[in-house]
């Protein structure tokens, strides 16, 4: 039974504001989607690492489900790391990382990575981060990451959370999908005090081509309410 407190709304990275139950349930749903992919890829349940775990919306459920032997929760934000280590069970370890792509993990040691809504904000060093995931994954291990891709932009409606920030950005234009196809990636930057402040748009063909040189890339079929593309990157 989950007996940990919930983080206050300010520590939830904008997920569900003060709506406690929706916040908690959303993490449980994500955790089960990840486990379904891990099962589908036949990955052993030894080491799970969440990159950009924030205050543990998802990893808290793995901890209570005892889903893996080890659960690691990395984030840039020290406040999140402290929250995780203070309030989540002891089978989760929060560790701060920097924006330089390096993690204090051994080669070939991770079975499953998750990075939900993280590569959507990594404006530089994206490929170096992917190389770091690849270095640390065991052969056959998977990284489940989300990206805002051309597939999402084609379906975007005014109800989506990204609609206002994307279409209101000075870089946005009516031909952005065509431009994205040519460039592969476009970064929408914002002035802000957070440790990350951009939205990264990526063309699905760029992911298949360039990310595909490091991993076997699978695109998970869209589920209801998806606003980002879920990718499974398997180390050969």
Ligand X SMILES: C[S@@+](CC[C@H](N)C(=O)[O-])C[C@H]1O[C@@H](n2cnc3c(N)ncnc32)[C@H](O)[C@@H]1O
Binding site for ligand X (CB under 6 A): 13, 15, 51-54, 57-58, 74-77, 80, 97, 99, 116-118, 121-122, 195-196
Q: Give the number of other CB atoms < 10 A from CB of residue 194.
A: 10
CB of 102 to ligand X, least distance (A): 10
Taking the least distance from each CB to ligand X, the nearer of 181 and 227 is 227
| Strand bridging mode 185-189 / 137-149 | unpaired
Taking the least distance from each CB to ligand X, the nearer of 163 and 179 is 163
Q: Which class for 57: exposed (0-12), middle (13-18), buried (19 or more C-beta within 10 A)?
A: buried
By beta carbon distance, the residue nearest ligand X is 52
CB of 182 to ligand X, least distance (A): 26
Taking the least distance from each CB to ligand X, the nearer of 37 and 53 is 53
Q: What are phi and psi of 77, to 5 degrees?
A: -90, 115
122-141 exposure pattern, b = at least 16 Cβ within 10 A, e = fewer: beeebeebbebbbbbbbeeb
Taking the least distance from each CB to ligand X, the nearer of 2 and 13 is 13
Closest CA to 220 of 33, 21, 31: 33
């Amino acid at each position: 039974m989950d007996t940990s407190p919930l983080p206050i709304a300010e520590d939830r990275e904008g997920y569900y504001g003060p709506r406690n139950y929706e916040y908690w349930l959303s993490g449980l749903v994500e955790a089960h989607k990840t486990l379904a992919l891990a099962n589908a890829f036949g990955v052993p349940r030894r080491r799970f690492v969440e990159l950009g775990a924030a205050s543990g919306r998802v990893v808290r459920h793995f901890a209570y489900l005892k889903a893996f032997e080890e659960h690691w929760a990395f984030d840039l934000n020290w406040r999140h790391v402290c929250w995780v280590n203070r309030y989540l069970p002891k089978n989760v370890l929060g560790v701060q990382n920097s924006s330089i792509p390096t993690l204090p993990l051994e080669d070939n040691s991770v079975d499953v990575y998750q990075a939900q809504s993280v590569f959507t904000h990594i404006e530089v060093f994206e490929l170096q981060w992917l190389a770091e995931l690849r270095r640390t994954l065991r052969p056959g291990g998977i990284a489940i990451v989300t990206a805002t891709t051309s597939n999402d932009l084609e379906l975007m409606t005014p109800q989506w959370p990204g609609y206002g920030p994307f279409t209101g950005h000075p870089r946005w234009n009516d031909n952005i999908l065509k431009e994205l196809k040519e460039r592969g990636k476009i970064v929408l930057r914002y002035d802000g005090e957070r440790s990350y402040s951009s939205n990264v748009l990526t063309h699905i063909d760029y992911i298949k081509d360039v990310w595909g040189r490091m991993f076997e890339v699978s695109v998970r079929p869209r589920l209801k309410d998806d606003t980002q593309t879920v990718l499974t990157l398997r180390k050969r």
